[in-house]
Amino acid sequence: MTKRRGERPPAPETLPAPVVDAHTHLDACGATTPDDVKAIVDRAALAGVDRVITVADDLDSARWAAEAATWDDRVFAAVALHPTRTSTFGQAEQDVLAALAEHPRVVAIGETGLDYYWDYAPRSAQHEAFRWHIDLAKRVGKALMIHDRDAHDDILKVLDAEGAPDTVVFHCFSGDLSFARACVERGFVLSFAGTTTFRNAHALREAARWAPEDHVLVETDAPFLTPHPYRGRPNEPYCVNYTLRDLATLRDADVGELAAKITRNAERVFRLSDVAES
């Protein structure tokens, strides 16, 4: 049987309650125009995913995300310089991001953090940029969205040393139960992506099963990390439906109740009602 690696997964049955995709990359999914964005979020809405947060990883992406969030009321944005892109991070880059962070439809500063898997940027540069983004999140009063790859201990050390913002989200949470406990003890939120559905991700699934429901979000990180059983195929926000259903099974929870709870979490974390009223 062909794996159909180039095809998007089939449209799932609509969720019994809507949920928010807390982290996606609409530009990397191929969107460039308002019509492109509408088509993606329309597909998401049919699956019960009624809002998405499109996340930047460089300056061009940050500018685009902030603009795209004005094209459709179902789209919000997060802006930052990805840690792997911090080799050059000076006043010019900081000025652009600081201005974008004030945009009313930018609901988070991210994704920022540390990435020890790739060597595209020196660790010293990553740490400096991470500290700057932490300060920016505190200055604008918005959530900090963490990218953490192979850097669990140092992420916590930096957050502890700098003083974490009021709201911290670990995007695509990748830690084990012990790390999940350390994050939750600090009040941080864990956002689970398609990796949580991978059957060989035993430690991650244990953490997802344990995580207190007030500290849980779901995301796609589309077009990456497509959930089981469609791993390797293109991901889109509608596929958070699959992750949510798998998470409900893992946690022995009702799908609709879990979706409703996670939506309330997203509304609280990203202050989405404040955006709607602005």
**Whole-model pTM?**
0.96
Beta-carbon-side half-sphere exposure of residue 10 (alpha carbons within 13 Å): 4
Q: Specify the number of domains making up the chain.
A: 1
For tokens 């497509």, what's the residue?
226
pLDDT at residue 6, rounded to an integer? 81
Residue 273 confidence (pLDDT): 86
Examine residue 52 and state whether it is found in any structural domain, yes or no. yes
Indicate whether 13 belongs to any domain.
no
Domain that holds residue 94: 19-277
| Beta strand spans in 26-166 (E) | 49-55, 75-79, 106-115, 143-149
Is position 30 within any domain? yes
Contacts of 138 (CB under 8 A, 6+ apart): 163, 165, 166
Beta bridge partners of 21: 52
**Has residue 4 been placed in a domain?**
no
Looking up tokens 């992750």, which residue turns up?
243
Low-confidence ranges of the chain (pLDDT < 50): 1-2
Q: What is the length of the chain? A: 278
CATH number of the domain encompassing residue 139: 3.20.20.140
pLDDT by residue (tens digit) across 54-85? Answer: 999 999 999 999 999 999 999 999 999 999 99
The half-sphere exposure of 178 on its side-chain side, counting CA atoms within 13 A, is 2
Q: What is residue 1's predicted lDDT score, i.e. its pLDDT? A: 31
pLDDT in tens, 150-162: 999 999 999 999 9
In a domain, 137, yes or no: yes
Express each pLDDT in 91-115 by its tens digit: 999 999 999 999 999 999 999 999 9
Q: Is residue 2 situated within a structural domain?
A: no
Tokens describing residue 85: 């892109």
- At residue 2, the pLDDT reads 39
Across the strands, what pairs with 192? 218
**Is residue 244 a part of any domain in this protein?**
yes
Q: Are residues 55 and 66 in contact, defined by beta-carbon separation less than 8 angstroms?
A: no
The reply to whether 272 falls in a domain is yes
